[in-house]
Amino acid sequence: MFSRLAVRRKACELVENSSDQAPLSPAVKADQGMRALGVASKWLWKRVPIAAAVGAFLSHVLSVAFATPLRDWPDYQIIIWQGETPTGYATLKAMGVTGAAVGMNHATGLFLPSALDSVQRAHIGFYLENMATDFYSPYHRYYEDKPPNWLYRDLKDRYRRDRSDRSVFLREPGLSDPAWLARIGDRLAANVRALGSNRPLFYNLADEPGIADLAANWDFDLSPASLDGMRSWLKSEYGSVAALNAEWNTQFATWDDVAPETTDDAMHGLRDNFAAWADFKAWMDVAFARAVAAGTSALHAADPQALSAIEGGQIPGSGGWDYSRLAGTVDVMELYDDGDNIEVVRSFAPDTILLTTSFRSGPVEEHRVWRELLRGTRGLVLWDDGHEFIAEDGTLGRRGREAAPYFCEVRGGLGALLMASERQLDPIAILYSQASMRVQWMLDRLPEGVAWIERNAPDEREDNAIRAATRTSLHQLEHAGLQPVFLSSQQLEGGALLSGGFRVLILPHAVALSLSEAAQIRDFAAHGGRVLSDGVPGVYDQHGRKLSQSAIIDLFPRPPHALTGDDVIALVRAEGLETNFPIQHTHNEHAQDVETYIFRNGDITILALLRDLHADQGAAPPEDEPVIVPLPHPVYAYNLRTGQGLGLQNQLTLSLASVAPTIIALSDHSLPPPSLSGPERMSRYIGARFHIAAAAPNDVLHVEVTDPTGRPVPAYARNLNAANAAVDFELHFEAPDPLGTWTITVRDLLIGDTASIRAELTDR
């Protein structure tokens, strides 16, 4: 019988080249990859649904074999963006990387066969990159001899020279241009047909797309197609030209006459009515989201199981990044964690597969990867333009050696377990108001006047009152052990506050509210809900026209003020909302530097605690921090990262590391160890079937297989989801596999216990 963590440690030793284990040569790694290919192609296509087979086939050595619906994401994916040599891919695969990017030939509109061939020879998964950047991100894309945003900079230079030149506001190509939409749809469909059964992990429409340059605020698009689309949309919003004129303070005779204001127009116009400008900005958000959704529709029409994606998700606010409209337009979204966009998308579209990108090394980066996993990401894209992961000779670089242990841990089943568990949410709503973001941008820019044009995309990441209030609220709640939900203005208008059972609503500097939103907030308060606001809410309506008075100002007994963390905590506690797991220092003070994440896996609670780690602490992380966690009642506790059973506990006494989380499973009853049954003899030519009984329903089990010499064979390792506390799997062996006694070991991720079988592989 193997010790509790022996299998995991042995697998990681292969990556870390420990002193008692000879490193795998590229030839051995390639041989194992070929065996993995044979196993996957012969077994998976016969035994599990097609897309689950593809997911496992495209995964690397720790591949998952979930018998789940076709378009499920099989496991936590780690994907390298830069292309590599065969030796480099083999090394990456051994350390836990599961996929790579395959680029496009933009001259032909099809993927690069040479890039596809390279990753297929490495037997790792892949995704198709930047399929339509010429449409979704023409003003921020790669050029060999020019900056990525040179077209945008050229427009700004032209506008500086002549502020009357409206031609700079013609987006090329236009997001509403039917000819371009058809062209992109045909291109996407052609790539799906050409790839056939290769099954990319996903199809990426564009990296860092946007209306102009990333999240830059620019007055696109005044083309005829865009204005026609805007007028149709405004007709659905207002119903009549007369209603629009009343809101905009204009005198258009017909819909065909309606034209928006540019930013310069708005700054020189009425300072209490930005509606003609703000509605145009809202329309461009709509147009961008519709164009992204059109790409997804084209992919799904070509293959209903294909996953669409966009990468490089920006900070919420401008440039098309209205997540209340974008969330749900694609299946996969890679986000730069900025402006709380991960929590926002997770709230609006919980089924979206969220990814993030790793750019750096060191303890701060490891901490960030763990934090993003706990926040709901299901994969990582590695940016390695400096050959820090893989040296030019194909060996592990410094960054790769740093990341290998925690990649191994996440891919060894812990990521799959968290993905299979349900996040516990509290009845606390934070309003996401894109209308307020637009108005606040204009209010912040008015003192600058026409100098707004000097702002570039990075400037739009600057802090403002809305972002500060949102960040303060989320930070305080997460550090109090509570998990709020973001609600969009549309959801608020639809009655989500009462129908969703919320008890607290936070308005983070919501300067613009519709009358419908105000009515819902008033109704919520009348039914006992508590409302907390940063500043006076609803000073403007949803179109950006200033009101004589906020429609809900009377809900606040004293004038609203700048939001503080104490305000947030006082309000939720007044409503009786307290965490079941308060984190205390040993001297009974609340630990204010620990984020709490709570998941449910059946009737088991998973408690994840992660300390704050700031960039200036990265070089020398602080010492471990002892804490006490009182429990609501006695429970059996299991440390998921160490595999240690803690027994029946009234409180948890823990030592929190500074970089990685502490993750504890809590159960009202003692969980049984896993059991593994299967044949004593196995044939090289016939698959051997095994049965696992798990500790609990929806548990995740990690399977490791070692050959007669005691060497783990990563190609046969996998993570299994025991949906009904049990799961079957098969092993199929290949001709190069040595005859003799093999060991199959299963580790239950919830409790850390293992079970093993020794079976004889014969040539019969």
We report the CATH number of the domain holding residue 631 as 2.60.40.1180
| Beta carbons of 169 and 245 less than 8 angstroms apart | no
Task: Return the structure tokens found at 480.
Answer: 């109090």
Both 357 and 297 in one domain: the answer is no
Residue 246 included in any domain: yes
Dist CA 94 CA 389 (whole Å): 12
Is residue 33 assigned to a domain? yes
In a domain, 179, yes or no: yes
> What values do phi and psi take at 31, rounded to 5?
-60, -45
User: Which of 630, 650, 667 represents a domain boundary (last residue)?
Assistant: 667
Residue 384 sits in the same domain as residue 494: no
Residues 6+ apart with CB under 8 A from 59: 74, 75, 77, 98, 99, 125
Tabulate helix, strand, coil % of the chain (nearest 5).
40, 25, 40
pLDDT at 620 (0 to 100)? 61
Q: What's the rounded Cα separation, in Å, for the pair 378 and 332?
A: 10
How would you list the strands of the sheet with 530-533, edge to edge? 485-488, 428-432, 504-507, 530-533
Q: Which amino acid is at 88?
A: G
Sole residue written with tokens 């009655």:
495
Residues 729 and 659 in one domain: no
* CATH number for position 695: 2.60.40.1930
> DSSP H helical segments within 594-736, as ranges?
none
- 118 burial type by CB count under 10 A (0-12 exposed, 13-18 middle, 19+ buried): buried
pLDDT value, residue 617: 57
Residue 142 counted as domain residue: no
Q: How far is CA 451 from CA 215, 221, 446, 455, in A?
A: 18, 21, 9, 8
Long-range own/partner contacts, residues 549-557 (CB < 8 A, 24 or more apart): 550/513, 550/518, 551/513, 551/515, 551/518, 551/519, 551/522, 552/513, 552/518, 552/521, 552/522, 555/521, 555/522, 555/525, 555/531, 556/531
Tell me, yes or no, whether 53 and 173 share the same domain: no
pLDDT of residue 562: 80
What does the alpha-carbon distance between residue 398 and residue 386 come to, in Å, rounded to a whole number?
A: 11
* Residues composing the chain: 764
Q: Which of 347, 343, 591 lies closest to 480, judged by CA? A: 591
Q: What is the pLDDT of residue 591?
A: 86
Same domain, yes or no: 153 and 298: yes
Are 410 and 432 part of one and the same domain? no
Which DSSP symbol is given to 617? G
C-alpha 14 chain-centroid distance? 30
Q: What is the CATH number of the domain that holds 552?
A: 3.40.50.880
The pLDDT value recorded for residue 623 is: 86
pLDDT on residue 20: 30
Distance CA 276, CA 516 (A): 20
Q: 679 in the Ramachandran plot: left (φ > 0), alpha (ψ -120 to 50) or beta?
A: beta
Peptide bond into 753 cis (omega under 30): no
Same domain, residue pair 446 and 569: yes
According to DSSP, the β-strands at 688-693 and 726-731 are antiparallel
Report which of 487, 508, 441 is spatially closest to residue 281, judged by C-alpha positions.
441
Name, in order, each residue with C-beta under 8 angstroms of 609's C-beta and a sequence gap of 6 or more: 583, 594, 595, 596, 597, 627, 629, 654, 656, 661, 662, 663, 664
Rounded to 5°, the CA angle 754-758-760 comes to: 155
Contact status, residue 524 vs residue 492, Cβ threshold 8 Å: no
Asked if residue 139 belongs to a domain, the reply is no
Half-sphere exposure of 555 (CA within 13 A, CB side): 26
Q: Which of 423, 457, 484 is the last residue of a domain?
A: 423
Stretches in the chain below the pLDDT threshold 70: 1-72, 615-621
**In the chain, how many domains are there?**
5
Q: CB burial class (10 A; 0-12, 13-18, 19+) of residue 386?
A: exposed
If phi over 0 gives left and psi between -120 and 50 gives alpha, with beta otherwise, what is residue 710?
left
Contacts of 208 (CB under 8 A, 6+ apart): 137, 140, 141, 214, 311, 312, 314
pLDDT recorded at residue 587: 74
Is 204 contained in some domain? Answer: no
Q: Are residues 419 and 432 in the same domain?
A: no
pLDDT score at 648: 97
Sequence-ordered alpha helix ranges (H) in 410-514 = 415-420, 434-445, 465-479, 489-493, 496-499
φ/ψ of 33, rounded to 5, equals: -60, -40
Alpha helices for 303-432 (secondary structure H): 323-326, 341-348, 363-375, 398-409, 415-420
Tell me what pLDDT residue 150 has: 97
- Secondary structure (H, E, C), 42-87: HHHHHHCCHHHHHHHHHCCCCEECCCCCCCCCCCCEEEECCCCCHH
3: in domain = no
Q: How far apart are CA 94 and CA 123, in angstroms?
A: 11
Same-domain pairing of 326 and 229: no
pLDDT at residue 680, rounded to an integer: 94
Give the integer Cα–Cα distance in Å for 347 and 354.
12
Q: Are residues 600 and 643 in the same domain?
A: yes
- Round the CA-based radius of gyration of the chain to a whole number and report it: 28
Identify whether residues 437 and 555 lie together within a single domain.
Answer: yes
- The verdict on 508 and 541 lying in the same domain is yes
Per-residue pLDDT tens for 192-239?
Answer: 999 978 899 999 999 999 999 999 999 999 999 999 999 999 999 999
C-alpha 31/C-alpha 220 separation (Å) is 54
Q: What residues have CB less than 8 Å from 491, skipping those under 6 apart? A: 324, 348
Domain of residue 628 covers 584-667
Q: Choose one of 423, 438, 459: the last residue of a domain.
A: 423
| Residue 141 covered by a domain | no
Q: How far is CA 734 from CA 22, 36, 431, 686, in A?
A: 23, 9, 56, 10
Rounded distance between C-alpha atoms, residue 622 and residue 658, angstroms: 6
Cα angle 293-297-303, degrees, rounded to a multiple of 5 = 145
CA distance 373 to 380: 9
Q: Are 146 and 222 in contact (CB under 8 A)?
A: no
